Amino acid sequence: MEQLRRYLIPHFVFIALIFIFLLTPLPLLSKAEQNPQATTGQSPLTVAESSNFTSTSRYTDVMNFIEELQKQSPLIRVETLCISAEGRAVPLLVIGKPVPSSPLELSRDRRAVLYIEANIHAGEVEGKEASLMLARDIILKEKPTYLDKLVILVAPIFNADGNEKISPTNRRGQVGPENGVGVRYNGQNLDLNRDSMKLESPELQGLLRNVLMRWDPILLVDCHTTDGSYHEHPVTYSWPLNPNGDSSIIIYMRDKMLPAINKNLEEKYKTLSVPYGNFVDSREPEKGWETFEHYPRYVSNYIGLRNRLSILDENYSYADFKTRVYGCYNFLLTILDYCYSHKDEIEQLLYTAEQKTILRGLNPSPEDSFSVEFEVKPLKDKITVRGYEMEVTPREGTWPLVKRTDKKKAYTIPYIADFIPKRGVPFPFAYLIPLPDPEVTEKLLQHGIRVERLTKPVTLEVQSFRLKEITAEPRLFQGHRMNSVKGEYFTEQKEFKEGTLFVPTAQPLSNLAAYLLEPESDDGLLVWNFFDRYLVPQWSREPQTYPVRKLLKPVNLVKESVR
């Protein structure tokens, strides 16, 4: 007893302090309730998970989540994709085992790089949640198998400025999250999924400089949410659609890769998916299922022009938020499964496409052409869309009222997604630009296109385009009055001064170079007003010759490279 008293008295203060500590409610507890695993050293939860799928992450939530992952694993590193217009550092996660400190390290091993992009439209948020969950689940797994062969880049919050404008009034038709989502546009009021050709946003410029040109991913996945026609598939998808890209890539993705992913997604992950589209006529779904446009201003189409794989992921906005997040998560897993088991095959496909592209530019034949007009036709095989029976009520003097019933119905129907060249123009040996225009030069370099400069004057026979008609769209679109032109081609002998820009087509990005520079291209620099000041002479209304000339046959010239 005496011993106990002797022990207790000197320790009284310490024991009392322990009691006080135990009885005082800790501020940490309330945080732990919001995010039960955050303080226990276990894997962090996304805002979607911890809010029971009623909320989506804000920028700081994303950054905190990433920081927590970095604390827990050496397999992740963070780079900055860009600084947004409103000043936010847009994170790019680099995940690998070991995580490469730069792409140069990858020259020593055989790992391939994949890139997952989410939240490009910041009202379409499940990709952001799913890609964060995916990053966590890969790196904190005991055996992250994917990382034996793959380095995974993730941009979970590509449009950070749009994300921070979260409001429950945005995208009202979408089923959750109840506490709101961000907006479609970035901090400059630009739609980032229309900016791939003109590259006017820090986000797209960052994508080029810090992802595509730096890491050269074999595949880009761009995560979105779609509304439109009613159906049962939480996940819809597309391959690159533009036929000016190498056809082997389109065919491989359309006929092999994505059908395999679709099958695996349903069998292994119990998630339904279907190629992206809408019913041509919702009153009569039997008429067919139609995809979106072929323009490379869309990121997924643009990547095809660069001879790389891309998948457009469009999650279905009438599915609830939790279903969409898990649908997207499972889709990303299935894509990783496929790339893991087909890495060598994909690399071989891309290598062959690239070699073919370069060789064609060395000596283009008369059959080599660049398409300036397209038509879209049904693919050979029909697809099955799990939709609903539709109820059509005629209304006098206006369109009939179309409503979906609750009765499910599968429609096996034509899929209108085969873009076919309707009119082509000769594919040249090179483009010559006799303009000291820094903006045009910069744009080509931003895309990673090889540009050279004549160091001696030369006279060449070239094909030129005499403009007859220039029509600017009366309605502004993405800050532009887009041009369309009419005219005629003619051959001329022309002197080109020292300093003339020379863009050879014997390079990996020649399909893209042609798309930017051809006079009749439907998504090129002429369309996006980069050549406006050169189209009409001073003091005249008559259009003049389009400044970019086409050199159809190979000629040896003295040049230096432009950087």
Closest Cα partner for 486 from 513, 464, 519?
519
Report the alpha-carbon distance of residue 490 to residue 275 in Å, rounded. Answer: 43
Question: Shortest distance, CB of residue 107 to Zn ion, whole angstroms?
Answer: 35
Query: What 3-state class would DSSP assign to 421?
Result: strand
Q: Hey, is 548 helix, strand or coil?
A: coil
The pair phi, psi for residue 520, each rounded to 5°, is: -95, 5
Q: Which two tokens stand for residue 246?
A: 């190498």
Q: Which residue's CB is nearer to Zn ion, number 124 or number 200? A: 124
Shortest distance in whole angstroms from residue 227 CB to Zn ion:
10
Q: Least distance to Zn ion from the beta carbon of 232, Å? A: 20
Q: Residue 84 or 510: which CB sits closer to Zn ion?
A: 84
Q: Provide the minimum distance between the beta carbon of 193 and Zn ion in the complex, in angstroms, as a whole number.
A: 6
SS3 44: coil
Q: Are 449 and 441 in contact (CB under 8 A)?
A: no
Q: Nearest distance from residue 376's CB to Zn ion, in Å? A: 20
SS3 512: helix
β pairing state of 458-472 and 483-496? antiparallel
What's the min distance (Å) between Cβ of 493 and Zn ion?
Answer: 49
User: Which CB sits closer to Zn ion, 303 or 548?
Assistant: 303
Q: How far is the CB of 27 from Zn ion (least distance, A)?
A: 39
State the minimum distance, in angstroms, from the CB of residue 86 to Zn ion: 20
Nearer to Zn ion, 136 or 171 (CB): 171
Whether the Cβ atoms of residue 483 and residue 471 lie closer than 8 Å to each other: yes
Angstrom distance (rounded) from CA 74 to CA 76: 6
Whole-angstrom Cα distance, residue 442 to residue 436? 11
Q: Which is nearer to Zn ion, 120 or 139 (CB)?
A: 120
Rounded to a whole number of angstroms, the minimum distance from the CB of residue 184 to Zn ion is 7
CB 425 within 8 A of CB 520: yes
Q: How far is the CB of 180 from Zn ion (least distance, A)?
A: 17
Token reading at 153:
């880049």
CA 51 and chain centroid, separation? 28
In the bound state with Zn ion, the residue whose beta carbon lies nearer, of 111 and 224, is 224
In angstroms and rounded to an integer, the radius of gyration of the C-alpha atoms of the chain is: 28
For Zn ion, the closer of residues 162 and 304 by Cβ is 162
Q: Which residue is nearest to Zn ion (CB)?
A: 224
- Rank residues 129 and 518 by Cβ distance to Zn ion and give the closer one: 129
Q: How far is the CB of 272 from Zn ion (least distance, A)?
A: 20
- Taking the least distance from each CB to Zn ion, the nearer of 176 and 361 is 176
Paired residues of 186 in beta bridges? none
Please say which residue, 50 or 323, places its beta carbon nearer to Zn ion.
323
* DSSP symbols for 383-431: EEEEEEEEEEE--TTSPPEEEEEEEEEEEEE-EEEEEEEEEEEE--SEE
CA–CA separation, 113 and 509 (whole Å): 19
CB of 60 to Zn ion, least distance (A): 24
Cis omega before residue 240 (within 30°)?
no
Say which residues have a Cβ less than 8 Å from residue 229's Cβ, sequence separation at least 6: 277, 278, 279, 282, 285, 387
Shortest Cβ 314–Zn ion spacing (Å) = 7
Alpha-carbon distances, residue 468 vs 224, 493, 528 (angstroms): 40, 21, 18
Looking at beta carbons only, is 121 or 343 nearer to Zn ion?
A: 121
Can you tell me the distance from the alpha carbon of 201 to that of 223, in angstroms, rounded to the nearest whole number? 19
Point out which residues bind Zn ion (CB under 5 A). Answer: 121, 124, 224
The closest alpha carbon to 209, from 302, 82, 359, belongs to 82
Q: Looking at beta carbons only, is 224 or 294 nearer to Zn ion?
A: 224
Following DSSP, what letter does each residue of 129-162 receive, concatenated?
Answer: HHHHHHHHHHHTSSS-GGGGTEEEEEETTSSHHH
Round to whole Å and give the CA distance between 39 and 47: 15
CA dist., res. 361 & res. 511, Å (int): 10
Spacing of C-alpha 33 from chain mean position: 36
Q: Quick one: 124 or 164, whose CB is closer to Zn ion?
A: 124
